[in-house]
Amino acid sequence: MFLNGHQQLSTVDEPLYHEPLVHPVMLLHQDPRKILVLGGGDGAAVRELLKYDSADEIVLVDLDVSVTDLAKSHPVLLNINQGSLLKENVTVINEDGFTYLEKLQDYFDVIIADFPDPRTVDLGRLYSREFYWLCHQALKADGFMVTQAGSPYYAEKAYKCIQATMEAAGFTTLPLHNQVLTLGEWGWIIGSKQSRNYLKGELQQKEIQVPTAWLNKDALTLITSFGKAVFNNTIDEIKVNRLHDPVLYRNYNKGKWDLY
């Protein structure tokens, strides 16, 4: 599936993307009952969340009603997401994620941000310090969030910019990565609202109790471990991405996408 000419999902390998997006952050939380998904209109992330008995309430906020309607009705997408957006404990809201958080008067255990890559100023606002601060405010005291963060290799500076921006909003972070066959090396970043110095060690000790297509205990070790920089170029100062100083989209577009 493509949106505006950019791949969003492939039946060949989508578990290699959605399982690292969902399960690590769910494993780190002790009792994730109320989950907010921002983006993710194809329903695959919600499919993974529904594997947890603790997930009493799932709210999905996606701007594009055509995508969520397709996810509720198209045979191929229904086969992929297993009818996740039609479940009783799932609420679908078609609204801009930033606007939704600005008006929110509620709290969640886990927030999952599954937005398109920040290739424009407008998309970059969903990766800004102001946005992550709204996420921080919307989480309970022991809450976690995770965002897809593009490629740590093709767009290394953009990836590190997202991590620095989350930290500027008050999160303790844990970067993740995985080889997604049709996307290349891809990345996510977990944020903890609490100051936790051993997130990597905590996650590597977890046992996955729900069925998965790919992710297992060994993979939890692999996805949290990074080698040396692939490219020898020196990255200059990493600036925080702010609404009034949107640096992220430039970092992203200057990435080594020609190699992909």
User: What's the token pair of residue 76?
Assistant: 């191929």
Structural domains present in the chain: 2-253 (3.40.50.150)
pLDDT of residue 3: 78
Q: For position 228, what pLDDT does the model report? A: 81
- Residue 44 has what pLDDT? 98
The residues that bridge with 92 in the sheet, in sequence order, are 60
The reported pLDDT for the residue numbered 156 is 92
Contact, 23 vs 212, CB < 8 A? yes
Token digits for 176?
Answer: 């993740």
State the Cα–Cα distance between residues 44 and 62, nearest whole angstrom: 13
Structural tokens at position 114: 């599954």
What is the set of active-site residues? Answer: 114
- The per-residue pLDDT for 232 is 65
Which pLDDT does position 110 carry in this prediction? 98
Per-residue model confidence as pLDDT tens for the chain (260 residues): 887 787 888 888 999 999 999 999 999 999 999 999 999 999 999 999 999 999 999 999 999 999 999 999 999 999 999 999 999 999 999 999 999 999 999 999 999 999 999 999 999 999 999 999 999 999 999 999 999 999 999 999 999 999 999 999 999 999 999 999 988 899 999 999 998 888 999 999 999 999 999 999 999 999 999 988 777 666 778 999 999 999 999 999 999 888 77
pTM, two decimals, is 0.95
CA torsion, points 227, 124, 200, 11, in degrees to nearest 10?
Answer: -80
Contacts of 245 (CB under 8 A, 6+ apart): 239
Q: Give the DSSP H/E element, type plus range, for residue 23.
A: helix 14-28
